[in-house]
Chains A and B, each alone.
Chain A
Amino acid sequence: MTQNKPFIHLLKSPYHEYVYDVNTNEIIGISKALYDYLWMQQNKPELSIPPTSDVDKEIQQLMASGYLKDKHPEKIENPQIDFVENTLEHGLLKLTLQVTQRCNFRCSYCDYSNEDALRNRKHSPKSMSWETAKKAIDFFAHRIRDSKSVSIGFYGGEPLLEFGLIKRCIEYTNEVLEGKDFSYTITTNASVLTPEIARFLYENNVSLVISLDGPKEIHDSNRRFAADGSGTYDVVMHNLDRIREEFPDYYEKLSFNSVIDPLNDYAYTRDFFCAQHAGRNISTPLLVPQTGTRQVYSEEFSRAYRNENLLGYLYLLGILRENEISPLALNAAQEMRMFIDTHFRKRNELPSRIGHSGPCLPGVMRLFVDVDGQLFPCERVSESSGNMDIGHIDVGFNLEKVFTLMNISQLTEDDCKNCWGITHCTLCAKDADDTKRLSADMINIKCRSTLLNIENHLLNYIALYEVKNMIRHNINNHGGVEHYEKESNAIPI
């Protein structure tokens, strides 16, 4: 029996025991006896007793198959640091222009409305000049030689308040990016989405994401006009109705972003989208509480939310069809699908040099340019933080800042080396930023909840696998799962 401590995380479903093997990035079904043995080894090593012969045999079999290695990373460093400079010169993928900081809404959850000093700048009347926009487009156009497909987004405030600038940007970009595969996106509150604007966007194939939180009572509870605090639902729906009449093809391609407020009736939101926008692409981010506070979910909300996720997973299993679930459930299914596709790639073992999976390549995946031409890794970081700007369109990228943001896990290097979630972690530099400095304490605040979230995803993945097997092997007539059989130890990916 090996004296090494395998780098693993134990998982348990109501039906079976599993181990997540960090080195191979696989979930393997194990016996209860082995689970108990490993649990004791990890949590109460002082009480740990030698394994039984059966458990030892199982351990040997797993080790012979390449599992239960004790290898941890030796160095926490994003390996892409070797060539990120080259990628910043030639391989940018997305440009987001902050065309204005003005907004005609004052949504209660907006980062720019928030009094929380840790969050971001405030609303302001500033807009991007044409000169700055052109420079930003040229800056981007000269750095996409290796990029096969690129995207240009327009951001605000409310971006359509600067439609004239957007129009000029699109016309210019169409010329300078001739020959490239490129697309445009705008997220808008749709309050100024006139048919004239819609026509231009339609003709230029701009992907439009409409911010719509649900039926009138729910939407208006958080999304209000800045001028008088009145609800915005009626104006938004009126504009959408006009788009549907005049540009039905374009209307069918609209996507929606619906912020889910746990204080609102989730089922009501679900029914609204089912009735009005079935089959659409709807993103449903949960409202994030202010830093240092906790969101409390009512039992009613939690039940409704979990039910929709379950329906989404039943769709993934092929039990339900797409037209039988709500757009919210479909979104849950798509998120799970993306998690499986991006997170479960087998490997022989962890590389010696690794960064945790959260950080992007700053400036490459997204390059956010604010109204003044300052460069940021994305629109979600604090624009008022000196830690997060990575350069300026006039002088180029600040490579030192880029390297720092890429390697934010070096702040918590020892913890990350021993963390089973290292290749699934979603924390990035934004989470370390307190606007004064990049801080390990800020990461540690979110670390536990992030790990719980990863574990939740893994357990959901296991549940999907078990249900799939139950269906395959047929639950017997008396109920229960007496004839449930595993086909192999490792959950197929």
Chain B
Amino acid sequence: MEELNTMKKKAMLYPFSMDTVAIPRFRTLLCEYELVHVVAPAGLAIEGRDCCLIDEGPHTGMKVSNSFEDALEDSDVVIVAEYDFRNNNLFFIRVIERIKTAILKGKDIFCTMILETSILKDLECCAIINHVNFIYAAERGDGIQTIIKHNVSIQSIETPVIIVTGLCENCLKYELQLVIRESFLKKGIRISQVGSRHYSELFGFHSFPGFMFKNQYNEEEKILAFNQYIKDLEKNENPEAIIIGIPGGIMQYSGRVLNGFGVKAYEVGCAISSDYTVLAIPCEGIDNDYIDILSLIMKYRNSMLLDCICMSNTHYNDASLKNLHLPPQIDIMPDHYVDLMQMNYNGSLPLYKSYDPIQRTQMTTNIITQLVENIGKIENMTF
């Protein structure tokens, strides 16, 4: 009986795409579900092959299926993945129909896809009628709604804080957060974590709080509230390290890749002092001058000292950025091309390939080494 209670529900992920490859890749971190099937639309053309082919990242050990019906038979829960439908309304309608089919067949739904209110209400009603659980994770929880009404100062966070931010989106920033989490948990380090994506609860940590996106609070209130939010996490969870992933990028990347203009990174930098900062960057030509400029921007704009850079194998397609009639597109670059882009950098900051399993380990080792050194320095300084 005890064994049954701790058994995780069998889950399928649908519709799979590059945006959600982190879920099968880090499925051992899933708290309540055991991921047994990954179902992709036929257009991805990777049926029967490992999920990793979608982004040429580390092997996942899970093969992609095209058959929603077969996977549904064998699952208790459907994790509905966020998906970039673009103008493909027909496929969106098909996905909604399949969610309904799953509900009618008594399957629970964990929905990370952002839905219009009318469609959401319809699905929630259907779930109630069919006595299944419908968890809508797409809207970020407000977290701790602590809006500072009086003059207060920023509170110091005593626990080491690791910040993971990105030059832009789509450069494996979320995977880096999961890599650090996995590594720290394996080493038995107690962590509190806030993730940049809205479904981080799937992996057992907090999503970036919803109040940071609400219009009713001004920027000062958000900064103070975020500081309080992390302080409360520190008090309540008593972690040995805090990991924070920041949504968006540190600044506008181009005229078409706006990254929220780096507003969240700025706010977090005002709210929290970072003990170790990871910057995820896309695959592009870099040299020492470029990294120096990025370091200065992070220091003076975001109040963060850059500690390491992680280059992804994702690259914004130049033609799509220049042509206003094409949507911005991400290309996955081959490893030799990433090497080419790094060849002019020989600066002092460590530079890792964020998709390389060995270099991911080197990064987490560097983080722990650095934090331990810093703690030693502080202990030496205290009287």
Contacts and interface: CB of A to CB of B under 8 A. Distances in A.
Contacts, number: 88
B337 A179 contact: no
B329 A147 contact: yes
Q: Max chain A CB contacts within 10 Å: which of B43, B317, B319?
A: B43
B84 A180 contact: no
A90 B332 contact: yes
A181 B87 contact: yes
Nearest to B329: A148
B88 A90 contact: no
B79 to A, nearest CB: 16
Contact of A86 (B44, B94, B328, B331): B331
A82 interface: yes
B332 A178 contact: no
Contact of B88 (A86, A87, A181, A338): A181
Interface string A165-205: 00000000001111111110000000000000000000000
Given A145-B44, A145-B332, A146-B330, A181 B322 contact: no
A141 interface: yes
Contacts of A148: 84, 86, 320, 327-330
A178 B41 contact: yes
B86 A149 contact: yes
B1 interface: no
B323 interface: yes
A179 B324 contact: no
Nearest to A85: B334
Main secondary structure of the interface of B (DSSP, over half): loop
A87 B337 CA distance: 12
A148 B321 CA distance: 13
A87 B315 CA distance: 11
B322 to A, nearest CB: 6
Nearest to B85: A181
A140 to B, nearest CB: 10
Residue of A91, A176, A179, A341 with most partner-chain B CB within 10 A: A179
B86 A178 contact: no
B179 interface: no
Contacts of A149: 86-87, 326-327
A86 B333 contact: yes
Contacts of B17: 179
A428 to B, nearest CB: 15
A181 B43 CA distance: 9
Contacts of B45: 141-142, 144-145, 176
B38 interface: no
A145 B54 contact: yes
Contacts of B300: none
Given A149-B86, A342-B322, A179 B340 contact: no
Contacts of B24: none
B91 interface: yes
A22 B372 CA distance: 53
A179 B88 contact: yes
Given A91-B317, A149-B86, A180 B337 contact: no
Contacts of B152: none
Nearest to A83: B337
B43 A180 contact: yes
Nearest to B95: A179
Contacts of A142: 45
Residue of B40, B332, B340 most packed against chain A (CB within 10 A) = B332
B119 interface: no
Contacts of B320: 148
A292 B43 CA distance: 46
A40 B42 CA distance: 64
Contacts of A483: none
B262 interface: no
A294 interface: no
Given A83-B334, A176-B42, A178-B42, A146 B324 contact: no
B325 to A, nearest CB: 8
Given A179-B91, A181-B87, A342-B322, A90 B41 contact: no
A345 interface: yes
Interface in B351-375: none
Nearest to B331: A146
B15 interface: yes
B105 to A, nearest CB: 21
Interface in B285-322: 317-320, 322
A156 to B, nearest CB: 25
Contacts of B333: 83, 86
A176 B327 CA distance: 22
A487 B173 CA distance: 43
B99 to A, nearest CB: 15
B124 to A, nearest CB: 25
Contacts of A93: 326
Interface string A327-366: 0000000000010011001000000000000000100010
A90 B329 CA distance: 12
Contact of A179 (B15, B325, B330): B15
Contacts of B85: 181
A181 B327 CA distance: 11
Interface in A221-264: none
Given A86-B333, A87-B331, A177 B340 contact: no
Nearest to A142: B45
Interface of A: 80, 82-83, 86-87, 90-91, 93, 141-142, 144-149, 175-183, 338, 341-342, 345, 361, 365
5 contacts: A82-B340, A90-B332, A93-B326, A176-B43, A179-B43
Closest 9 CB pairs of A and B: A179-B41, A181-B86, A180-B43, A179-B43, A178-B42, A178-B41, A177-B43, A181-B88, A146-B331
Given A93-B326, A179-B40, A361-B319, 7 more contacts: A90-B332, A145-B332, A147-B329, A148-B84, A177-B42, A178-B42, A183-B87
